[in-house]
Structure 1
Amino acid sequence: MTDHKTGTREEWLAARLELLKAEKELTRRSDELARQRQELPWVRIDKEYRFETDEGSASLADLFRGRTQLIVYHFMFGPDYTAGCPSCSAIADGFDRSVVHLANHDVTLSAVSRAPLAKLQAYKRRMGWTFPWASSLGIAFNFDFNVSITEEQQREGTFEYNYRRGTASQLRGGDEPEIPSRATPEGAAKGAAMTGTDVATYARERPGMSAFVLEEGVVYHTYSTFARGLDGLWGGYQWLDRATKGRNETGYWWHRHDEYNKG
C-alpha cells in the first residue's frame, strides 16, 4: 500500500485546478523574465578570439554562420579530459536536434570547449551529434566568460563563477552546493572519474551558456547563465519535474547515453 496521499478523481481534479493557477502564474512570470533578459544592455566585444572549427580558424563573428544571433553552450571538456562531462553530454543530447530549428530562426547554437578540436570531433562522432563545436584551446574566451579557471586561481580561490567569488568548498567539490545531485561527497569525484581526470582538473571547467548578437559587423554579449540557470535547458529535467517522483536525486545518477547498459 502506498504511503502517498490518495483520493477520488474529483479530489484530484480540485487539487489539480489549484495547481494549474500556480503553473499559469509561473508561465506568466517566465514570460516576463524573458522580456527582462532581452532588455539587458549589450556589451561590445572588442577582443579578438580565434577558435578552431571543422571549417578552420574562425573568429567569434564567424561562429554566427551568417546569422545575427549566437548561443554558445560552454561545454565542460577541458584539454586534459578524455571525454566530455556526462551532465553536459545529457544537456547536449537534448539540444542537438533543436539546432536546425534555431538555425532557421536566425539563431546559431554552438558548443565551445577548451579541449583540442580533434578530441571534440571524436567525441561528437561517438555521441552522434550534429551541432557545431569550436575549440577555444589556447585563447582567453572561456576565462573571460568565467567558465574556466587557472590552477593559480584554483589554489588561491580568486575565481568567479555564477556571479560570485569562488570558495574553498567549491574548489574541493567543483560544483554548486544547491545542485543536490552534485552536492554529495562523491559527486565531483564521480564526474572527474567519468572524464578521466582528478577532481582538481575536472573542477577547472564549469558549465554555462552565453548569448551574443551581431549588428553592423560588431559582436555584443547580451546574456549568460550558469549552474542551476541551465536547468531549463536540460530537457531531461523538465520531463522529470512532471514525473510522479520528480527528480528523485540522491547522487550523480546520469551517464552518457551509450553507457547505461554497460556492466
Structure 2
Amino acid sequence: MTPLDSAWLAENPLPQPEGDTDKNRRGRVLVAGGSETVPGALRLTGEAALRAGAGKVQLATVERVTLALGMTMPEAAVFPLAANASGELGDAAGPVLAGYLERCDSLVLGPGMGPDAAAEAILACAIAEPRAGLSLVVDAAALGAAGNMTERLRAHEGRVVLTPHPGEMVQLMGCDESRIKHDPAALVREAADRFGATVLLKGAQTLVACPEQPVLRYPGGGPGLATGGSGDILAGIIGALLSRGASPQTAAAWGVWLHGEAGRRLAETVGPLGFLGRDLLPLIPRLLATSR
C-alpha cells in the first residue's frame, strides 16, 4: 500500500480556478438524499462542497423539508422530490432527479437516505445515461443498491466514487465480514476492479483503491470522526473536488485527507471526542490553502 500523505498530495495537486472564473466554472454539485427523519444531512454535505471550493450547490430532497433546508442554507438551490409513506425518497423521485443532472458536474447521491428509501429505483435513474461531464459519488443507503448495478456503474468509465464503511462494503460486495478484518486492501482493490470505480473503505484507517493503481492508506483522523454527519461531509468534499475537475482518485484521496486532518486538528484543540460533524466545516478552506 502507498501512504496517503503530504508527498502523495504534492505529486497529485488539485486543479485550481483561473482568476477570471465564475461560479459555474468552479464546479456545480447536486446533492440528493435526505429524509423527513434526517433533513439536515444535505445541509452538511452541501456546505462541505462549498467549503471545498465548489462554485454552485443544489440540494434535492423530500418535498416537506425543502423550505427549512433552503432557509438554513441560503447559498444553495433546493429542489423537491417525492417521498414515500415512510418520509423517505420514493420511486417517483428517480425520474425527477435524472432531469436535474444536466445542471451539475457531479452528483452526490445518498446522504441522509434511510433503509426505507427507494434507493435502487433512484440510483438506476441517476446512472441510466452516462455523460462525460458528470461524475458520481454513491454514498450511504445508495450503496446498498449499487451491488446489483455493476455494469451500469462501469458504463460511467471510471467517473464514480463509492464510499462504504465496513458494513456497507460487506453489503456492496456480498462477502463475509471476515474479509474486512483479514485483508481489507485486497477487498477494496477487488471492489474497484469490479465496479470500474474509485472505492474508499472508511474506518480507523481509510483505504482508497482505483483500478490499476496502488491502494492508498490514510492512517485516520481519530475516533472523534466516528460521529453523525461526518460521512456526509466527506461525501460533499469529494463531490466538490470532482466538480472542480479532479480525477476520481485525486478527489477521493484529497477528500479523505482533508476530512481526516480536520478531525485531527479538532482532536488537538477541542478534544479527541465530543466535537460535532459540522465543526469540521470551517477547517476545510484553510487546509486546502495551506496544502497547495
Short-chain TM bin: 0.3 to 0.5
Q: Which has the higher contact order (CA 8 A, sep 6+)?
A: 1
TM-score (ref. length: structure 1): 0.39
TM-score (ref. length: structure 2): 0.36
Larger helix fraction of residues: 2
Larger Rg over CA atoms:
1
